[in-house]
Structure 1
Amino acid sequence: MNYYIIPFTFLFFSGLVVYSLNYKHFLIMLLSLEVVVVSLFLLIFFFCSVYSLEVFLSIIYLSLSVCEGALGLSLLVLLIRTHGNDSLFTFDLLW
């Protein structure tokens, strides 16, 4: 059995639990999404290296996750500039 998968699945599910339980602040949600993205990247990378597959898929995934992180940070900056904080409960339109 492949025991290298266990830490990555634990990291993935802990990121999902934090994302689903801590939805008060936008920054915490972005950080938990990045934990999920990094755990999936490491899982893809080790899967490709163990089974002697191409690592090009992991590079494409990493570049898309960097774009997602930059978009999240730009939304966070816009949110703080317009509303003054990153608390999601201050919006009347979302809840």
Structure 2
Amino acid sequence: MYIFVGCLFMFYVSVSSFFYKKSHLLIMLMLLEFMSVSVLLMLLNYLCGFNCDFSILIYFIIILVCEAVMGLVLLTLFVRCHGSDYFQTSSIFLC
């Protein structure tokens, strides 16, 4: 029970930080990964509590890896087009 509450607190902190820290793309991607890891821990806690099949975790981890790779690709393209990952100095439509 305490693990679930801790994961829920981690998720809440990451979501609130995501909405307040919108200046750098890298910080936003790290907060998205933090949200995903907290959801993964909540799912693991739920599956352990009910003795369910753990194959859904493999699919969820695959989705997390694909999300991380796409985020890094977008970060690389954004830095190559604009020179930094700072949102305030660049417009999305310039690239």
| TM-score, normalization by structure 1 | 0.91
- Aligned CA-pair RMSD: 1.2
Q: Which residue type is aligned with residue 52 of structure 2?
A: L
Q: Shift of residue 45 of structure 1?
A: 1.0
Q: Which residue type is aligned with residue 40 of structure 2?
A: F
Q: Which residue type is aligned with residue 87 of structure 1?
A: Y
- Residue 19 of structure 1 corresponds to 18
From the superposition, tell whether residues 44 and 3 of structure 1 become closer, same or farther in structure 2 (CA, over 3 Å). same
Is 2:81 aligned against 1:82?
yes
Mapped to 1, the partners of 2:64 and 2:29 lie a distance apart of 12
- Residue 58 of structure 2 corresponds to 59
Can you give the 5+ residue segments of structure 2 that lack an aligned partner in the other structure? none
Q: Which residue type is aligned with residue 17 of structure 1?
A: S
Can you give the 5+ residue segments of structure 1 that lack an aligned partner in the other structure? none
Percent identical: 29
Number of equivalences? 93
- 1:17-36 deviations in whole A, cap 9, x for unaligned? 11000000000000000000
Q: Which residue type is aligned with residue 42 of structure 2?
A: L
| TM-score, normalization by structure 2 | 0.91
